[in-house]
Amino acid sequence: MNLPKRLFFTGVPGSRWSGIAQILEALPGFNSSDRTPDRTYTHHSYTGHVGAYFGRGMEFPAELDLPMIDSAWTNPNAGTQIVKSHDWAYKLNEVYNTVRSSGDWIMLVYRPDLVSQAWWHEAGGFQIKYPNYDAYQDHIGMLSEIMSQNKAILKFGCDMRVTWEYFDRVWISKTFGIEYNNIPEVNTWEDILVAVVKP
């Protein structure tokens, strides 16, 4: 299976989407050349945040400017770039129109609102140093954004008739064409669902 140049990737704060992205980036065919010390945040014993994030208050805006997007990677031709933005949730139809011509894919991560909010606070909340969550303003603003983003993700998934599945080795192998035995054990969370749109 030929992997795309870019995987437009979205999920709400606290959905564990960053950890999922890091699992994928460790697999053959993915590109992690966007990682720098300045683009790193760790918390407790968990994965934290690494690499470029796009969106309000971030280093890069969530705009569908492909050269700008590619500039976040020191080697943009080294495999599939996971282009992470919470704000893609609000632009999924525009993203879809872009990937229809570019051959890229879209990945959605869904986790219910309140458990996502709780995990985001566990991960550091507004003390998170990277990426920047200032645009969310306060705890009420964060919950409002989580609810709005999840609603948009679910609507797009419904419109695209996606099949929501658990993130596990079987799904990774089937979706990305990677041999099952080449995929390390991964956590499968019972409250997290994923889907990929391949135009």
The answer to whether the bond into 131 is cis (omega within 30° of 0) is yes
What is 84-152 written as a DSSP string? Answer: E-GGGGGGHHHHHHHHHHH--EEEEEE--HHHHHHHHHHTTGGG--SS--GGG-SHHHHHHHHHHHHHH
* pLDDT confidence of residue 47: 63
What's the token pair of residue 19? 């950890």
The H or E element that residue 82 is part of is strand 80-84
The rounded distance, in Å, linking the Cα atoms of 35 and 90 is 25
> Nearest to residue 82, comparing CAs of 106, 58, 103?
106
Q: Where are the domains of the chain?
A: 6-197
Distance, in Å, from the CA atom of 60 to the CA atom of 88, rounded to the nearest integer, reads: 13
- Output the DSSP codes for 6-72: EEEEE--TTSSHHHHHHHHHTSTTEE-TT--GGGEEEETTEEEEES-BBSTTSSB-S---HHHHHTT
Q: Quick one: CA torsion of 154, 169, 131, 107, rounded to 10 degrees?
A: -40
pLDDT tens digits for the chain (199 residues)? 799 999 999 999 999 999 999 999 999 999 999 988 888 767 665 567 889 999 998 999 999 999 999 999 999 999 999 999 999 999 999 999 999 999 999 999 999 999 999 999 888 888 887 788 889 999 999 999 999 999 999 999 999 999 999 999 999 999 999 999 999 999 899 999 999 999 8
CB 172 within 8 A of CB 27: yes
Please answer whether residues 133 and 28 qualify as being in contact, where contact means their C-beta atoms are separated by less than 8 angstroms: no
Q: Are the C-beta atoms of 51 and 34 separated by less than 8 Å?
A: yes
